[in-house]
Amino acid sequence: MASKKFDIQAFPGFKPITLLCLIVLYAPLVIVTVYSFNASASLTNWEGISLRWYADVFSGPESEKFKIAARNSFIIAIIAATTSTAIATLAATAMVRGGAFKLRTVSFGLISMPLMVPEIVTAVATLIFFNAIGFDRGLLTILLAHIAFCIPFAYLPIQARMQGIEDTYEQAALDLYATKRQAFTKILMPLMMPGIISGFLLAFIVSLDDFIITNFVKGAGVETLPTAIFGSVKQGIKPNIMAISTMLLGVSVVMVTLSYLVSKSDKTK
C-alpha cells in the first residue's frame, strides 16, 4: 500500500464527493447553530450575535411548555435506557454464554424485531395494544414503548463486546470456587463495562430522539421535547426552536463522543 507511484486504490473524484458529503451532513446543523445566536426576530436578517433566544427558551412565553417537555424527555430516556440496558445485558449473557439452544434464533429474531419493523408500524401496533387493554395513554405508555424499542440498540454493542471476551477469566474464578453469580458480577460484568456503557448511551439517545412512537402513544397534553418541537415547528420555524435544537444537538454530540471515547480507550488497553 505504500507504493505512491501508481495508486491503484485512488479513484479521481472520490475525495471531492466525500467532502461534499460532509458539507451536506454538517451544513444544516452549522447554519442552525449560527442562526440560533441571531439577535434578529426575523429568520432572514442577521443582526449580530446575541443570546436572546436562549433566554427566551428559559423564560419566554413558551418556556414552561419546553421545561416540562424536557423534564419528561430526560426522565423517560434515563429510565428507559437503564431498564433496556439491564434487560439486554442479561439477554446477551444467555445468548453468548448460554451454549447452543433451540430458541436462540427465535430469541435473536425477537430482540431485533424493533429494528426490522418500520417505526411507524411499531407505533400503530403499540397504540392499538394500549387501547385494547384499556391502558390510559400518558407518560407511562411512552416509557413502556421506549423500553421495548431501545432493547436492540443496547443489546448489539453488549453482545459484540461479550463475544470479544474469552471465558477463561470466568473459568479461572469458577475453578477457585467462585459461584456462577460471583463469576458473573465480579468478572464478566466489569469486563463488559465498555459495551454496557455504549449500549446505555445508544439507548439513551434513541429514546431522547424518538418522535414517531412517542407521538402515537402519548396522551393528550403530555409532551416530550421532540413532540413539543414538532408542534411548534408546524406553525413555522421560530428562532427559539433553533436555540433548543442547538442545545439538544450539543447533548447528542457529547453523548456520542463519550461512547466513542469509551470504545476507543478500551482498544488501547
Partner 1 sequence: MAAGAASGGSATTDTYKEARTWLLMPAWVTLSFLILAPVLLMLVYSFLTKEFRGGVVWEFSLSAYDQFFFDRGLFGDEPAKIEWTYITIFWRSIWQAGAATLLSFLIGFPTAYFIATQPERVRPMWVFLITIPYWVNLLIRTVSMKFLLRDQGPLNDFLISTGLIDSPLHIVNTNFAVQLGLFYSYLPFMVLPIYAAVERYNFTLSEAAADLYATKMTILRRVLLPAVKPGVIAGCILVFVPSMGSFLAPDLLGGAKNFMIGSLIEEQFKGNAGNWPFGAAASMILLTMVLIILLIFARQQAKAEKET
- Under rule CB under 8 A, which residues in 45-84 are in contact with partner 1? none
Contact letters (x/-) for partner 1, 216-245, by CB under 8 A? x---------x--xx--x---x---xx--x
Angle at 112 between CA 183 and CA 230, to 5 degrees: 115
Based on the shown chain and the rule CB under 8 A, indicate whether residue 40 belongs to the binding site for partner 1: no
For partner 1, which residue of 68, 178, 212, 262 counts as binding (CB under 8 A)?
212
Annotate 21-40 with b (16+ C-beta within 10 A) or e (fewer).
Answer: eeeeeeeeeeebbebbbbee
Smallest gap from Cβ 57 to partner 1, in A, equals 14
- The amino acid occupying position 66 is F
Cell numbers at residue 167, please? Answer: 471465558
Based on the shown chain and the rule CB under 8 A, indicate whether residue 144 belongs to the binding site for partner 1: yes
Within residues 98-127, the interface with partner 1 by CB under 8 A covers: 98-101, 103-105, 107-114, 116-122, 124-127
Smallest gap from Cβ 54 to partner 1, in A, equals 16
Q: Which residues pair with 49 in a beta bridge?
A: 38
- From the list 253, 240, 258, the residue with the least C-alpha distance to 50 is 240
Smallest gap from Cβ 129 to partner 1, in A, equals 4
Residue at grid coordinates 412517542: 214
Query: Other CB atoms closer than 10 Å to residue 115's CB: what's the count?
Result: 13
Based on the shown chain and the rule CB under 8 A, indicate whether residue 193 belongs to the binding site for partner 1: no
For partner 1, which residue of 40, 63, 129, 219 counts as binding (CB under 8 A)?
129
